[in-house]
Structure 1
Amino acid sequence: MQTSLPSPVALLFSRIALSIRRSLWRPWLVQASLLYLISFVISCTDHREPNPDEPNQLRVQAAVDSVRRVLEDSLGNGVPSLSVLIQTPNHTYFASSVLAGKSPITPQTYFRFASNTKNFTATAILNMHEDGWLDYKAHITDLIPGTNQPYVPATADWNFPNKGQITIEHLLQHSAGVYDSDNDTIPGLNGETYTNYRQSRDSTHQFTTEELIKPLINHQLKYPFPPGAGYHYSNTGYAILSRIIERVYSAKSGSAKTYADYLHNYITGPASRVPIAVSFPYRADDQALPQPNVTSLIRQSPLWGVGFGPVNMSAHVAEGNGYGTMAALNTYIRSLMRGENVLSPQSVQLMQTNTSPANPDYGLGSDRFTNLGYGHNGAIAGYLSLMAYDPATDVSIVAMLPLWDFSRGEASFLTCFRHMYYAGYAAKGALGYPIK
């Protein structure tokens, strides 16, 4: 059973997603990545179709090693590991750069992939749409097709602001204006988010969706734009999507089902089109990662940090509760974006069509990363990760760094976050693909 986290660490645990979204300065990322490549990638040619040979593997490893060393120099402290998996049309490369004396992780090492979960949630919604189980354009107060039940409960504990104006699509693209009780502070809670306030006092607390939206009702919290007319990243919006998936699946199956049930049965499990090694825990007591796994680190000062293993994910269902391996994420995002998984090419195109107000890079549960492609990123409990597929080059990539460094405040955390991206760009550039 997980012990209570020190309050400062719990605060970092629950609020970091907002910092990440504000830090995506993509043009600057690309420029800096190019500077790295100039300094350390050996013999990069302009070929577009890399050969599956040892020299290319060495180039990828050298690129990731160099980014990790630069990150260590920037932080003035060690970086336990930095890993990249990259698949081209002809070959798959994997590089794990670690501190001297440490064992590298492998493509089959488990970690928490956090908000990459949102892409799985969007896939579930669009798959239900294709099957006629729901209409992603419908208002969340509309009836589930073929039933007399609305998508979300018609009860007082679901009367959050603007509920009647919000569509499922709005929630997917973060344009619903649903206040985020996981990332933004709540009145009366000492300047804390709701999830941090509750979990820092009881790390075994079982969260519910009703509980997460209750502060929105009590304080009439919302973002300052009508649904569909703006953008604000909201984990709570995706928590609402989890309940929609649960209610639709339960209605169609005739028995009580969960978000995790649908993902396992239709998107990721043994009976799905492309089975992969991922899971979406929703119980407060389901905290452990399978073996082998990598422990993450949240460093509060040059000499003190907290390692994370077991973590309660019940507050993050559908928005950040997933765990899996780098190999699994690569298989998923590559097959999905190539139209080889559960979604039709038309639905994949919806994911890749960026129509979100005020954020042209975010579609339906999918980000667009310059020269890396379409996918998502994630950060939770000391893990940073990225998955993306680039249709222009037919290259997929997964990057993972199990470190948040706050020894110099948010600045050193953002340094970690950017270098996770740099490693992905460097690995792709080491194989001769354009990143400019």
Structure 2
Amino acid sequence: MTSSAEQLLPGTQRALMHRIATAQSEGRTPSLVAAVRRGRERTVWNGSRSCVDGHAPDADTQFRIGSLTKTFTAVLVLRLRDEGLLDLSDPLEKHLPGTGVGDVTIHQLLGHSAGLGAESPAPWWERTPGALRPELADVLGEGTRMHPPGHRYHYSNPGYTLLGTLIERVRGERWEEVLRREILEPLGMHRTSPRPQAPHASGWAVHPWADVMLPEPAEDLGLMAPAGQLWSTTDDLLRFAVFLAEGDERVLGAASVEQMREPSAPTQPGDWDGVYGLGLQIERRGGRTFYGHTGSLPGFLAALWFSVDDDVAAVALTNVTSGPLIGALAADLVEIVADAEPRIPEPWRPLSEADQELLALTGPWYWGVRANVLRLTSDGGLEIRPLQGSGRGARFTARRDGTWIGRDGYYAGEILRVVRNGDGTVNHLDLGSFVFTRKPYDPEAAVPGGVDGGGWRGLEA
């Protein structure tokens, strides 16, 4: 057993160690390693358990991470979009012709709503050499279409094979070379690789009814590599979590990683607590939103979850085919830290300077008779929210033409305009055709349908 932490309270450290010890014991896994990060630069805890005394893995031990690889592939696709080389609404055929599924969009592939099959044709791709599937047709097979594109979420490993091939076609290089140059090197993830590098764990299967083990093969997945090939460490994956929470201009900016965290595919009944973004799983649990991904390949289970609001991320890796509920374990580690030692807010600080015209716009505005408040935010944007209770609201970012575009909430993508009178004074705000006025149904403003000339009145006898 190993653990190291100096920045968490002793009770929190013990709760974390107890949780992974229970997972290793009850999950009957040869070894398990986990780590927690709080903030940009602080790994505040790491711990491990092993069935062999003195041979526990540490933060530098590689494990296979399976479908966590998909998040890396999604980042590479978003980079192509940000460079203007493609649009997420583009049909696949525009950039990768001849697949037979060219009508599906890149966005649908990223969010698993393209309607493609979950797996490639037999034999089971995770446990056989990728050389058995040398062409995309061997990956897609004949039963490619399971659902109409865009109608529902249906997880698809072949879909991410298509995205990997798309990256290679646009870049003119192998997927793993693009990955190394554009993500791993800039983020300092030197212990993440397509093939294992010592020290690394070996994969095992544990008999369901007896305490005996069987080694699992570690196959090179060939064309399926962008869906699940990678090996990594807790140290590297926590670096990746910081990037996914905050962005990094060397890889993807904050706005693009925020887009990855937005739900992208229609949910099905029973799935309201779990949706998919662009290469990221999103789960609601106990009022807290988790972002990340889980992964599995024969002999390995992996999970990375982070909470943006709590500024906490956790990784759990183990070398067993079926054992601990690794996704629940990583989420539990986040919750243990976030609940026991809540994030201390940054000190409030005033703006360095305030635009006086924007400042004059702040305060109450009325949509009809509903009171809303417009605020100038610390990043220089605007935010409109109902004065009381929940309801329609959003944050807005300035555009060069003097208008504002909604970043989130009900008004995401909608345009906010300040409409002025001939003398330059403000008449009203136009938000997606909704008119917001300084007074309820202000007779001086351009209220749709006009305002009764008799004004406000009581009940007449």
Question: Quick check: TM above 0.5?
Answer: yes
Q: After superposition, give the CA deviation of every residue in 1:230-272 in whole Å (9 maximum; x if it has no partner).
A: 110000000010110010001xxxxxx1111211121222xx3
1:218-237 to structure 2, matched below 5 A, reads: 220-224=143-147, 226-237=148-159
Matched, 1:290 2:197: yes
Query: 1: distance between equivalents of 2:20 and 2:307?
Result: 24
Matched, 1:276 2:193: no
Q: Which has the higher contact order (CA 8 A, sep 6+)?
A: 1
Is this contact kept in 2: 1:280–1:317, CA < 8 A? no
Alpha-carbon offset, residue 429 of structure 1: 4.2
Which residue number corresponds to residue 208 of structure 1?
A: 134
Query: 2: distance between equivalents of 1:324 and 1:126?
Result: 22
Q: Quickly say closer, same or farther: Cα 1:81–1:93, change in 2 above 3 A.
A: farther
Is this contact kept in 1: 2:8–2:45, CA < 8 A? no
Where 1:343 maps in the other structure, the secondary structure is coil
Q: After superposition, give the CA deviation of every residue in 1:308-365 in whole Å (9 maximum; x if it has no partner).
A: 4743232531111111211111111212320225112221121111131116621111
Which residue number corresponds to residue 92 of structure 1?
A: 43
Instruction: Give the alignment partner of residue 152 of structure 1, picking from 96, 103, 110.
Output: 96
Q: Quickly say closer, same or farther: Cα 1:74–1:53, change in 2 above 3 A.
A: closer
Alpha-carbon offset, residue 276 of structure 1: 1.0
Matched, 1:260 2:186: no
Range with bigger deviation, 113-122 or 64-73: 64-73
More helix by share: 1
Query: 2: distance between equivalents of 1:60 and 1:333?
Result: 21
Q: Quickly say closer, same or farther: Cα 1:425–1:399, change in 2 above 3 A.
A: farther
Q: Quickly say closer, same or farther: Cα 1:416–1:124, change in 2 above 3 A.
A: closer
Query: 5+ unaligned residues in a row in structure 2: which ranges?
Result: 345-461
Q: Quickly say closer, same or farther: Cα 1:314–1:138, change in 2 above 3 A.
A: same
Query: 2: distance between equivalents of 1:233 and 1:260?
Result: 23
Q: Quickly say closer, same or farther: Cα 1:203–1:345, change in 2 above 3 A.
A: closer
Is this contact kept in 1: 2:91–2:102, CA < 8 A? yes
Q: Percent identity?
A: 23
Range with bigger deviation, 118-127 or 383-392: 383-392
Which residue number corresponds to residue 141 of structure 1?
A: 93
Q: What CA RMSD, in Å, does the superposition of the two structures yield over aligned residues?
A: 2.9
Is this contact kept in 2: 1:372–1:425, CA < 8 A? no
Q: How many residues align?
A: 329
Where 1:317 maps in the other structure, the secondary structure is helix
Where 1:316 maps in the other structure, the secondary structure is helix
Is this contact kept in 1: 2:24–2:31, CA < 8 A? no
Is this contact kept in 2: 1:372–1:388, CA < 8 A? no
Where 2:222 maps in the other structure, the secondary structure is coil
Q: Quickly say closer, same or farther: Cα 1:85–1:73, change in 2 above 3 A.
A: closer
Query: 2: distance between equivalents of 1:420 and 1:392?
Result: 16
Where 1:108 maps in the other structure, the secondary structure is coil
**Aligned partner letter, 1:264:** R
Is this contact kept in 2: 1:115–1:320, CA < 8 A? yes
**Aligned partner letter, 1:292:** P
Which residue number corresponds to residue 401 of structure 1?
A: 318
Matched, 1:318 2:219: no
Where 1:337 maps in the other structure, the secondary structure is helix
Matched, 1:329 2:252: no
Is this contact kept in 1: 2:32–2:317, CA < 8 A? yes
Q: After superposition, give the CA deviation of every residue in 1:7-39 in whole Å (9 maximum; x if it has no partner).
A: xxxxxxxxxxxxxxxxxxxxxxxxxxxxxxxxx
Query: 2: distance between equivalents of 1:383 and 1:83?
Result: 12
Is this contact kept in 2: 1:79–1:98, CA < 8 A? no
Q: Quickly say closer, same or farther: Cα 1:403–1:102, change in 2 above 3 A.
A: farther
Q: Quickly say closer, same or farther: Cα 1:297–1:195, change in 2 above 3 A.
A: same
Which residue number corresponds to residue 345 of structure 1?
A: 254
Query: 1: distance between equivalents of 2:33 and 2:9?
Result: 13
Is this contact kept in 1: 2:134–2:223, CA < 8 A? yes
Instruction: Give the alignment partner of residue 32 of structure 2, picking from 82, 86, 95.
Output: 82
**Aligned partner letter, 1:243:** T
1:159-198 to structure 2, matched below 5 A, reads: 159=100, 163-182=101-120, 186=121, 194-196=122-124
Query: 2: distance between equivalents of 1:423 and 1:98?
Result: 15
Where 1:389 maps in the other structure, the secondary structure is strand
Query: 5+ unaligned residues in a row in structure 1: which ranges?
Result: 1-51, 143-150, 187-193, 251-256, 282-287, 406-412
Q: Quickly say closer, same or farther: Cα 1:335–1:244, change in 2 above 3 A.
A: same
Matched, 1:62 2:17: no
Instruction: Give the alignment partner of residue 277 of structure 2, picking from 344, 356, 363.
Output: 363
Instruction: From the CA coordinates, give the structure whose radius of gyration is larger.
Output: 2
Query: 2: distance between equivalents of 1:426 and 1:212?
Result: 45
Is this contact kept in 1: 2:296–2:321, CA < 8 A? no
Alpha-carbon offset, residue 419 of structure 1: 4.0
**Aligned partner letter, 2:134:** T
Query: 2: distance between equivalents of 1:117 and 1:414?
Result: 20
Q: After superposition, give the CA deviation of every residue in 1:194-241 in whole Å (9 maximum; x if it has no partner).
A: 241x776x647353342433523xxx44213x1111110000000010
Instruction: Give the alignment partner of residue 246 of structure 1, picking from 168, 172, 175.
Output: 168
Q: Quickly say closer, same or farther: Cα 1:297–1:420, change in 2 above 3 A.
A: farther
Alpha-carbon offset, residue 70 of structure 1: 3.2
Query: 2: distance between equivalents of 1:97 and 1:348?
Result: 30
Alpha-carbon offset, residue 278 of structure 1: 4.7
Matched, 1:116 2:42: no
Alpha-carbon offset, residue 293 of structure 1: 1.2
Query: 1: distance between equivalents of 2:327 and 2:57?
Result: 19
Alpha-carbon offset, residue 176 of structure 1: 0.1
Is this contact kept in 1: 2:297–2:321, CA < 8 A? no
Alpha-carbon offset, residue 389 of structure 1: 2.8
Matched, 1:387 2:304: yes
